Amino acid sequence: MDKNLKSRQFFLLFIVTFTIGLYFFFMKYVPLVKSFQIVLAPLLLIVFVLTAFKAKWGTLFFIFCFPLINGLPYFFGIFEHTPHAPTALVLFLFYFLGWLVHPFLFRAAPAVRHPILRPMFLISLIILVSGVITVFRYTNFMPFLSDRVYELITNTNGVSAGGAIMSTLFFSLNYLTGFAFFFILLQSLNSQEYTKKVLIVLLVSTSLAIAFGFYQHFADISVGNTPSRALNNTLNGTFKDPLSFGAYLGLIIPLLFGVILAFGKLIRFVSIIAVAGGIFILPHTGSLSGFLVMAFSLLMFFM
């Protein structure tokens, strides 16, 4: 059998396996609330179709949505009492499925060579194996001893086996998808023009997230927020929680300093406004790590 044909068959098998896994993940960990799905489903379909046929467009759409989508469940009354996957993680999984389909449709193949990819692959493999072992342990070897997972308490906080499995799955996927997106960006950012588009899209979405943080601070902190965090007077903007918002601001503000220096006119003006807004909002997130990250990143930036 032709070697290329065997490779395509293996790649197709991987796509099918990933799709099946994504279906069960979606049914298990994404709330099937009709009003929520009416908004979420079109976004997932758009990012998949765009990436499958125009990978770079799909990447731009994903980057635009990423800072804006994690707080979406709160607008539909889906709070902490309803365990659910981070919406940005779900969006990335559909984006990644489109990215897998794209080379299969157009007979292309990833061809990035970079020294950092080998240690990234090894770390990803360790995370994957560790995640599988941990999930299997929390099932109490269910496939061998029973027909279901027993919801035994796993720690002093009262987390059950199902909750521990869910957390392990989410944390593992967060790490793995981060490495996967870094790999995709290594392929995508191959021209100054496209890099500029990525930065502009990121600037626009970040500005919207910061603007919503201002709305929460000055108008109604309960909108797009959880009741407990609104009671604590901490802002989450469009993010899942205030600490995530603070960490994001700590990372993005130094990058926007670079945008200020690299571009002129309107882009520079919007970047200055976004930086000023982000610095104002950051203390209201309650994120100490956000300050530390921003300080370290700015130090590296100015060096």
> What is the tens place of the pLDDT at every residue in 175-187?
999 999 998 988 8
| 43 & 58 share domain | yes
| 127 & 182 share domain | yes
Report the DSSP beta bridge partners of residue 160.
Answer: 153
Final residue belonging to a domain, choices 105, 126, 151: 105
Q: What is the DSSP letter of 76?
A: G
| 22 & 44 share domain | yes
| 147 & 206 share domain | no
| 214 & 282 share domain | yes
Q: What global pTM score does this model have? A: 0.90
Final residue belonging to a domain, choices 55, 80, 105: 105
**In angstroms, rounded to a whole number, what is the distance separating the alpha carbons of residues 208 and 28?**
31
Which pLDDT value is given to residue 272? 94
| Total tally of structural domains belonging to the chain | 3
Residue ranges making up the domain that contains 63: 1-105
| 87 & 20 share domain | yes
Which tens digit of pLDDT belongs to each residue from 35-76? 999 999 999 999 999 999 998 999 999 999 999 999 999 999
Which tens digit of pLDDT belongs to each residue from 144-194? 666 777 777 777 677 787 888 888 999 999 999 999 999 898 888 888 889
| 201 & 289 share domain | yes
| 235 & 282 share domain | yes
Task: Give the dihedral of Cα atoms 210, 91, 163, 36; nearest 10 deg.
Answer: 80
- The answer for residues whose C-beta is within 8 angstroms of residue 260's C-beta and 6 or more apart is 268, 271, 272, 275
- Count of all residues that appear for the chain in the document: 303
| 206 & 260 share domain | yes
